[in-house]
A and B are shown apart, each in its own frame.
Chain A
Amino acid sequence: MERIPILKMGKFLLVSIQVDMHDRLALTLQDELTARIVEENAKGVLIDISALEMVDSFIGRMLANIATMARILDAETVVVGMQPEVAITMVELGLSLPGVRTALNIEKGMEILNSLLQSETQDGTEGSET
């Protein structure tokens, strides 16, 4: 069965979607990812969708769901590398992914996650650094 690999990088999980998403695959990813977050005690999830050329409403909602689930499990989600066409489609579908952090590429996504982790560890001083 086709599966999307979930890689561990320090305190973060890295998911790179390189194949065309279909509904079953999306649901499997959702299951596995939430399981891995708990298992690894991950603080952040980075989803790279730069290879994704098509997004339908189901996949869009799934991305939003994953982010919400991850937050409940105390992990921040950053979606990186969305293609312009995909972004336009998502907006037209009315899915602007509120509450999901986005970044242009993996490098910038990691920066965001790192700064989030730092501000969390400095919890004594409110950690309101942006």
Chain B
Amino acid sequence: MEKAKTLYALLSGHQNEILRQWQKEQLAPGVLRSDLISPDELKQQMEDFLRYLVEAVKKDETEDMSSLEAWKEVRSFLTEISKTQAKKGFLPSETSMFIFSLKKPIFQLLQSYDTEDLEKFASDLWKVNTLLDQLGLLTMESYLKSKEEIIRRQQEEMLELSTPVVKIWEQVVAVPLIGTLDSARTQMVMENLLQEIVRVSATIAIIDITGVPTVDTLVAQHLFKTVSAARLMGAECVISGIRPQIAQTMVHLGVSFQDITTKATLAEAIKYAFSRVGYRISKGESTK
């Protein structure tokens, strides 16, 4: 305990000096990302962080920081910084260097004061090292967390964007599928399609797979499921936009589209759908 208190005394006594050194490290050309953050903003962040850190060291001197109240402010502050940095586009190494560059000034400080008592020097060094490592890991963790959050949100947005059901004409709806089909997406497509079938009381649904890059057995199975579900609701399904390569792979894989109407292009499918519901497309005078 005695020694830990000295650590606090040391840190608080030389807070400005540490800050100056630290800022020198972080603001050095090549280190500072002036395109992402202004020097003043960074300085303010560092000053605030150091103040929180010294406060926390004062409140509690133990190494194990995760379970302690005293470190809550430091941690939340650091988490916030890392999150903003991740959003701004900082590199992971740059984010973690925010903490790791603090090592040098503090170690130098310890070196100049503690060398008399080697035992104390070692223990202080260990303490600071553990502390900063943990904080460094925390920055990494929050950095990754916020990145993952971005990915997750984009995935959700993609799901919503990629499954529009369009009404072509009375009783005819179409779903242009774009991108790879997995279980989650198929589920979504299925639900949207079926709801739309009820809403516009469609009798024919066209599933256009022009934008689906590959069709393997799993994707085919998903398509079959959608077709069966639509049929159970009383709507016929037409699959269109099957590219030559896809037709070849499907035959090689042994997937057969028996009992399902397939058309090569969306235009053909629309023509077929119209004839099924009793419309005829005819060419009239151009109004150009």
Residues of A within 8 A of B (CB): 79-84, 86-88, 90-92, 96-97, 102-105, 108-109
Contacts and interface: CB of A to CB of B under 8 A. Distances in A.
A104 B235 contact: yes
B178 to A, nearest CB: 22
B161 to A, nearest CB: 21
B184 interface: no
A86 B198 CA distance: 13
Contact of A87 (B187, B202, B232): B232
A91 B232 contact: yes
Contacts of A90: 228-229, 232
B232 A97 contact: yes
Given A91-B229, A108-B203, A102 B191 contact: no
Given A104-B201, A104-B202, A108-B203, A88 B231 contact: no
B225 interface: yes
29 contacts: A80-B234, A82-B232, A82-B233, A82-B234, A83-B198, A84-B191, A84-B194, A84-B197, A86-B232, A87-B229, A88-B194, A90-B229, A90-B232, A91-B225, A91-B228, A91-B229, A91-B232, A96-B232, A97-B232, A102-B231, A104-B198, A104-B203, A104-B233, A104-B234, A105-B201, A105-B234, A108-B203, A108-B234, A109-B234
- Main secondary structure, interface of A, reads mixed
Interface in B196-233: 197-198, 201-203, 225, 228-233
A91 B190 CA distance: 11
B195 A84 contact: yes
A87 B203 contact: no
Given A80-B234, A97-B232, 7 more contacts: A84-B229, A86-B232, A90-B228, A90-B229, A90-B232, A104-B198, A109-B234
Contacts of B231: 96, 102
Contacts of A91: 225, 228-229, 232
B234 A84 contact: no
Nearest to B232: A87
Contacts of A87: 194, 229-230, 232-233
